[in-house]
Chains A and B, each alone.
Chain A
Amino acid sequence: MSSKAAAGVAGIVAVAWNSGLAMAAADPYQLNLPEPQTVIAQQIYDQHILVLWICLAIFIGVFGVMFYSVVKHRKSKGYEAANFHHSTTVEIIWTAIPFLILVGMAFPATKTVIAMKDTSNPDITVKATGYQWKWGYDYLTGEGEGISFLSNLATPKSQIDNAAPKGENYLLEVDNPLVVPTGKKVRVLLTANDVLHAWWVPALGVKQDAIPGFIRDVWFNIEKPGTYRGQCAELCGKEHGFMPIVVEAVEPEKYAAWVAGQKTKLAAVAVDINKEFTLDELKAKGEAVYSANCAACYQANGQGVPGTFPAIAGSKVATGAKAEHINIVMNGKSGTAMAPFKHLSDVDVASVITYQRNSFGNSTGDAVQPSEINQLR
């Protein structure tokens, strides 16, 4: 090792910062945090740069001395060893100086931590729920109150299995993004349905674990319209890498239009509850619900994964009493990976159960109606 190596590493670090400053969103050689889109993300970005400079200065100081010594104080150059082995003054100095540097770093960090935690007076509150493996969003207060939807990975399986060319936003695209207005304080309440997840959007400077049975909250206020992408950041099972988060920030007028559109959709779905469906209608609808919610574990053919996920084909539950089947779908089965699916609509639960009881070789002939599910709520 030589002082050249030290200079080399220092050079790489320096290049990293400079190029990081002018970085596009999906640059394959992005070296730094993404371009900040909120006040907090900007503070994080700046503090990171500050800490890097301080570290670089210390690095050059310490390893400058060490590599000077490595080059000069060698036996092969005939250098005679000195015999000093302590100096109280020096030791006090190099204990005190790092302490003061750390205080200097902690000061701005403390202010940011306090600002991050201030979730008071939001314009809009959204609840984000982590499911294995998708996000659900419920607009609780503010403009858009009452809107609620699930947000699934939109990348087709064929791209993941290398059967089709991968798209530009491979693994970072969803069917229903979280839409928020710009210039408004949005508070996100986080919880989970089954296991831990974490809601992370780097450009917003927000990451928070979603914990089943508990509520945590974070906030952001996006200045510029745009699409900001993130991913689940807490290991949540086999599809952990496949539950992205997409936040679409739009101008307030566009947001109002989006809210109106969602309300119309919601009203259209609401009338269906007491309608009677035929077996075929339920099966057809159930197949779509099944592939979005069940196929990840039970597989598209209902055979499950031996040893890990039981088969639905020919299973006692799917061919036995209807009530028990409904109970397991609604409430899950504790101690197993089977999570409750109460969050699906009555129509979805009824149709997916009907589909499971009349597919993969199962033929109970049962048609479960949405009203039967509704009674259990």
Chain B
Amino acid sequence: MAAVHDHDVAHAHDHHPTGLMRWLTSTNHKDIGTMYLWFSFIMFLTGGVMALTIRAELFQPGIQIVNPEFFNQLTTLHGLVMIFGAIMPAFVGFANWQVPMMIGAPDMAFARMNNWSFWLLPPAALLLLGSFFAPGGAPAGGWTIYPPLSVQMGMGMDMAIFAIHIMGASSIMGSINIITTILNMRAPGMTLMKMPLFVWTWLITAYLLVLVMPVLAGAVTMLLTDRNFGTNFFNAAGGGDPVMFQHIFWFFGHPEVYIMILPAFGIVSEIIPTFARKPLFGYSSMVYATASIAILSCIVWAHHMFTAGMPVTGQLFFMYATMLIAVPTGVKVFNWTATMWRGSMTFETPMLFAIGFIFLFTLGGFSGVVCAIVPIDIQVQDTYYVIAHFHYVLVSGALFAIFGGAYYWLPKWTGHMYDETLGKWHFWLSMFFFNLTFFVQHFLGLAGMPRRIPDYALQFADFNMISSIGAFGFGLSQLVFLYVVLKCIRGGAKATAQTWEGAKTLEWTLPSPAPYHSFETPPVIR
């Protein structure tokens, strides 16, 4: 045993390569986590530039900057890049860094597969973004790539389909790795119900990913053969059904939105108790709520299709099931509030982002209930109301949690404290400009502005202008974040092992920055 241990130490300090090879051949959960996070940030900026081009075109009525075709390519790629390139890899990056440290393990279970699942992403991203340069341009059918429109596209669509296949494979491998790590490598004494909530939410998310990514792969493969090999899965003239694609797509698509929000719940559930200096209220009900949300998320997909037309019983079933999700989600918000209640709170940047998350995510939840009610959804489906709704849950939901988590764990990752003043600026600027961008979009949608249009009626002009100004402010505010992170990597006040007074999870028992192999001897949990 001692010999093995010696070998490990020698390995840790002598043999890992430096320079480019360190990153290309890395099997270390921290290096891979870092690469995931940088990859996702680059994709976030790429998708952000697309969003700003969209908002620049919509600044005034009329066609000014991009033609309608390119506009559609931008909206499509903005969605695909942000979902598959920015948000999902960011959470996998968090899982890589934090799961081993939070369960007292040295690394992930499948270290080489971990390398492979990351290095699949850059080629997939190149394929996806390269479609802009293909004849006919990038796919322009919306991120939902509904046929028959997506059958009309040029070969950029095939490139996007392959990119989705590769990213799906990467997600599945990443999830299997996370599930195996969590189920097999917990420190002695850490029972499932003693795991930190971030680990719990990722465990459930990983199961959802393994369940639904193959479904998406199936949908896009059928699309591929419809496009290139003369099949008629979605072609009515050949006996197929275009609406079948929507059912299959959303059987993936709805759990997907919870894949993007459950780890965010996890991060917020770590941050709030730390800065309230009080244990998380209702730990077990949090776990059960997460699990029920995941299960319910698999039986609500057709609420994305209320206007596609379905029998009255179908509409009612999907309406009731969707409304039910509000119950466990409400439980979470109440639990966070109860955690803060009678705590001893301080408001460092992670806490600001966590409270901002709860506040704005709840607004997105309210508009979610509005959308769940079939008659109202008939009016708001495919309008800017829906755009506002899902940006409230994905930007001020998932993204704010990612920022909160980044500030929370940066000292552990880099060994330095970040610039607290600039962090707070980043929060308040993001908060202000986010709402400026998206709150008015509720009004636009209710008043009748459809989504995915490059030009609009004059009555929508003022709110669109406000929204565009907000979008540019929000985009530029993110450069503050980039600066804070770079500054924190390069130096700053030394972070202590504990860093945050109220933090209780295992990673805070390790020195900052955390050692190469997190826990070489497992800690014992009592």
Contacts and interface: CB of A to CB of B under 8 A. Distances in A.
Nearest to B344: A81
Most chain A CB inside 10 Å of its own CB: which residue of B141, B355, B356, B459: B459
Contact of A195 (B69, B152, B358, B362): B152
A195 B142 CA distance: 13
Interface in A28-62: 28-34, 40, 43-44, 47-48, 51-52, 55, 58-59, 62
B316 A113 contact: yes
Contacts of B516: none
B348 to A, nearest CB: 11
A186 B278 CA distance: 62
Interface in B441-467: 443, 446-448, 450-463
Nearest to A86: B282
A105 to B, nearest CB: 6
Contacts of B62: 159-162, 166
Contacts of B422: none
User: How many residues of B sit at the interface, in one of the four size bands?
Assistant: 35 or more
Nearest to A214: B236
Interface in B357-407: 358-359, 362-363, 366, 369-370, 373-376, 378-379, 381-383
Interface in A65-109: 65-66, 69-70, 73-76, 79-87, 90-91, 94-95, 98-99, 102, 105-106, 109
A271 interface: no
B337 interface: yes
A213 B462 CA distance: 40
Given A73-B344, A196-B149, A196-B242, A172 B154 contact: no
Contacts of A51: 369-370, 373, 376
Contacts of B307: 198, 207-209, 233-234
B236 A113 contact: no
Contact of A69 (B63, B148, B343): B343
Contacts of A316: none
A27 interface: yes
A26 B67 CA distance: 26
Nearest to B448: A202
A170 B457 CA distance: 5
Interface string A254-278: 0000000000000000000000000
Contacts of B149: 195-196, 235-237
A314 interface: no
Contact of A207 (B148, B347, B381): B381
Nearest to B142: A235
Interface residues of A, number: 105
B309 interface: yes
Nearest to A33: B446
Given A102-B323, A196-B242, A207 B379 contact: yes
B277 interface: yes
Contacts, number: 308
B524 interface: no
A62 B338 CA distance: 10
A31 B331 contact: no
Interface in B298-327: 307-309, 312, 315-316, 319-320, 323-324, 326-327
A184 to B, nearest CB: 21
Contact of A102 (B324, B381, B443, B453): B324
B374 A109 contact: yes
Given A44-B379, A69-B342, A236-B149, A34 B447 contact: yes
Nearest to B385: A33
B455 A66 contact: no
Most chain B CB inside 10 Å of its own CB: which residue of A48, A74, A91, A162: A91
A73 B341 contact: yes
Interface of B: 61-64, 67-69, 72, 135-137, 140-142, 146, 148-149, 151-152, 154, 227, 235-237, 241-243, 276-285, 307-309, 312, 315-316, 319-320, 323-324, 326-327, 330-331, 333-335, 337-338, 340-347, 352, 355-356, 358-359, 362-363, 366, 369-370, 373-376, 378-379, 381-383, 431, 439, 443, 446-448, 450-463
Contacts of A31: 443, 446-447
B319 to A, nearest CB: 7
A79 B340 CA distance: 12
B69 A86 contact: no
Nearest to A200: B450
A336 interface: yes
Given A44-B375, A109-B375, 17 more contacts: A47-B373, A73-B345, A81-B277, A85-B281, A86-B283, A87-B282, A91-B285, A159-B62, A171-B456, A200-B382, A206-B378, A208-B307, A211-B236, A212-B242, A231-B450, A307-B137, A336-B152
B379 A213 contact: no
B419 to A, nearest CB: 20
A205 B378 CA distance: 7
A334 B443 CA distance: 40
B369 A85 contact: no
B378 A207 contact: yes
A114 B311 CA distance: 10
A117 B316 CA distance: 11
A26 B285 CA distance: 48
A216 B278 CA distance: 56
Interface string A150-172: 00000000011110001011111
A260 to B, nearest CB: 33
Nearest to A6: B359
Interface stretch (A175-183, A238-246, A321-329, A366-374): A238-246
A206 B341 CA distance: 46
Contacts of A346: none
A63 B381 contact: no
Most chain A CB inside 10 Å of its own CB: which residue of B140, B334, B451: B334
Given A211-B309, A235-B452, A308 B154 contact: yes
Contacts of B369: 51, 55, 102, 105
A160 B439 CA distance: 27
A109 B319 contact: yes
Closest 6 CB pairs of A and B: A213-B236, A241-B453, A216-B309, A81-B344, A307-B135, A30-B447
